[in-house]
Amino acid sequence: MTDIFGASGPSLRERIGSLAQVIRVDSFVEAEGHARGARRLRLVNGGGIEFEVHPDRALDIGQLTVDSIPISWMSPTRIAAPQFYEPAGAGWLRTFGGGLLATCGLDTFGPPGHDDGDDLGQHGRIGAQPATVTRSVADTDGVVVEGLIRQASVFGENLLLHRRIGSAAGSDTVVVEDTVTNEGYADAPHMILYHANLGWPLLDAGTVIDIPSVATKARDADAESGEPQRNEIGAPAPGFREQVYSHDFAAGGPFSARVTNEKLGVEFSLTFSGDTLPFLHQWKMTGQGTYVLGIEPSNCRNLLGRAVARDAGELPILRAGESVHYRIEFRVRRTPPAGSA
């Protein structure tokens, strides 16, 4: 067990009446607005990391703070209950609450489209599917939540996501481990993208992005125009148009993308397995109000939807009965602020 504020073992127990004083999982049911009726879990790891998990949104992660400093970007829609999700077209944006992790998939991501007789909404359905929580633990090892999320249809796909989210006691890290299994009897398209959304005050003028890719491709003319400043963050800009880049990596892994705000004294890193998540997409949107950086590991290079990925020969297929494992690690490290003695 890692020290909790300098104490561990018997020394720690002498100083607290309950472990919940420093390490806990709090459970809530939302009562107001578009979140009403949805479950929310708040995990406290005893090391300054606190984060919220949303069981009715695929066990995705909402706000995360380190020593009360917000790390996640939260959208104006906030994180809504799944009954408000709009699956058609770009309706996903109506309930895209942002947060540290919004999962996209499991059979498509990218813009809306049509493929193999399916009408596919933006970024897929999995992020609006409720989880069955199978485990929720807070003990001297840390905090853990596990659950099952199914995306299925009669005559269609039957994909099961097993998700485990954990943070060791006193640590600066949150780990997400996913296993996706095709429980159907036919092979199924399987696209997944981990949409991690970073916001102010981590994101600010002077924040630096470090992505150790070997090749980068701009999605469109807007991204091409911003290429020289791709790894820099400026102040919110009126009329800013989103810029999206796709990154390829050398063989091997794992790989880490870092976002550092020296003035604030915070370094964020996202580490992902290079074998099953060989690509990363970068969403830079530093406009007014929508002031966000997306760091998005993925199993597919193509960002333009399932039909385009199929035509390009890049569509991942999960065979009947097959499983695939993904692991991403978020680390938030405090550093001495720039200019401090």
DSSP string spanning 90-117? TGGGGS--B-SBEEE-SS--SS-EEETT
DSSP string spanning 257-299? EEEEETTTTEEEEEEE-TTT--EEEEEEEEBSS-EEEEEEEES
**In terms of pTM, does the model score above 0.75?**
yes
Tell me what pLDDT residue 231 has. 96
∠341-211-59 over CA atoms, to 5°?
Answer: 95
Tell me what pLDDT residue 2 has. 73
In this predicted model, what pLDDT tens digit does every residue of 284-301 receive, in sequence order?
999 999 999 999 999 999
Please, what's the largest Cα pairwise distance for the chain?
A: 65
pLDDT(1) > 60: no
DSSP state of 72: B
* Confidence label for 253 from pLDDT (cuts 50, 70 and 90): confident
In this predicted model, what pLDDT tens digit does every residue of 125-140 receive, in sequence order?
999 999 999 999 999 9
In this predicted model, what pLDDT tens digit does every residue of 73-97 receive, in sequence order?
999 999 999 999 999 999 999 999 9
Domains of the chain, earliest start first: 23-334 (2.70.98.10)
